[in-house]
Amino acid sequence: MTLDVAWAVEWTRRTAEQVLARRVELNELDRQIGDGDHGENMARGFTAVLAKLDARTEPPGDIGEVLKLIATTLMSTVGGAAGPLYGTAYLRAAKVTGIPELDPPAVVAMLEAALEGIVARGKATTGEKTMVDAWTPAVAAAVARTDAGAAPVDVLVAAAEAAEAGAVATIPLIATKGRASYLGERSAGHQDPGATSTAIVLRAAVEAANGVAPEMTAAQGA
């Protein structure tokens, strides 16, 4: 599938579906090192995004329009750290995707813009046990696959896989940013919720491109 506006809409729907399906898991991760609301925050935000998408009379004109709708909705409906962080990520990504279709360099540009937005907003660097630890390897993997001449969907696959590995790699880290930093060394031994939701978001982008049935992915995850 080409990464066009229909893909962007499908990406949004699958992200919403997956954050709702994994809401309890995300809450549980956040309960270990935060305040237990990350699943609620993401579910509330993406439920509102779907409502706005469905309420539209005109379909979105380009990918950037879809991402901007997500950005503004997350900023206005999600409290806590994740709303402004993801909101800024989607807003920056929207600015570089006002185009009909993403080629590999455009996928890289979108992911880089998202990461830059998160860093601009949260001032975290890698190794601080945040979503930056999923986005940073995702961008690096996307760049590497693009340089290797991969197809757009394969660039997304590389990003999703790297984000998943990055999320798992947050387990031993000691948090030095966000709510988890209040725990100091006791934050080690738990996977960061925001890095985990980042992996969910990027995996949804792959599934939207591949047209994998949501039931199938749920079964694979079980």
Sites of contact with ligand ADP (CB under 6 A): 30, 34-35, 37-38, 41, 80-82, 85, 118, 122-124, 130-132, 177-179, 192-195
Check residue 152 for interaction with Mg ion (CB under 5 A).
no
Residue facing ligand ADP at closest CB distance: 194
Q: What is the distance between the alpha carbons of residues 148 and 203, in angstroms, rounded to a whole number?
A: 21
Measured from the CB of residue 131, what is the shortest distance to ligand ADP in angstroms? Answer: 4
* CA quadruple 192, 194, 196, 201: dihedral, nearest 10: -170
**Residues near 55 by beta carbon (within 8 Å), at least 6 away in sequence:** none
| Span of 16-24, 25-33, 48-56, 208-216 interacting with Mg ion by CB under 5 A | 25-33
Helix axes 63-77 and 5-21, enclosed angle (nearest 10): 30
Residue 15 vs 146, nearer CB to ligand ADP: 15
- Using an 8 Å Cβ cutoff, are 106 and 99 in contact? yes
Residue in 69, 159, 49, 149 with CA at minimum distance from that of residue 110:
159
Alpha-carbon distance values, 56 to 43, 45, 67, 114 (Å):
20, 17, 14, 25
Q: Is 87 in the site for Mg ion (CB under 5 A)?
A: no
Helices (H) and strands (E) in the chain, counts: 10, 0
| Residue selected from 30, 40, 65, 164 as contacting Mg ion according to rule CB under 5 A | 30
* 124 interacts with, out of Mg ion, ligand ADP, none, CB within 5 to 8 A per kind: ligand ADP
Applying CB under 5 A, among 4, 17, 28, 35 the residue interacting with Mg ion is: 35
**Is residue 40 a contact residue for Mg ion (CB under 5 A)?**
no
Nearest approach in angstroms of CB 138 to Mg ion is 22
**Which position among 3, 9, 10, 34 is part of the footprint of Mg ion (CB under 5 A)?**
34
Nearer to ligand ADP, 12 or 130 (CB): 130
Identity at 217, one-letter amino acid code: T
Cα distance between residue 95 and residue 63, in whole Å? 10
Among Mg ion, ligand ADP, none, what binds residue 195 when CB lies within 5 to 8 Å by partner kind? ligand ADP
Q: Residue numbers of the site for Mg ion (CB under 5 A)?
A: 30, 34-35, 37-38
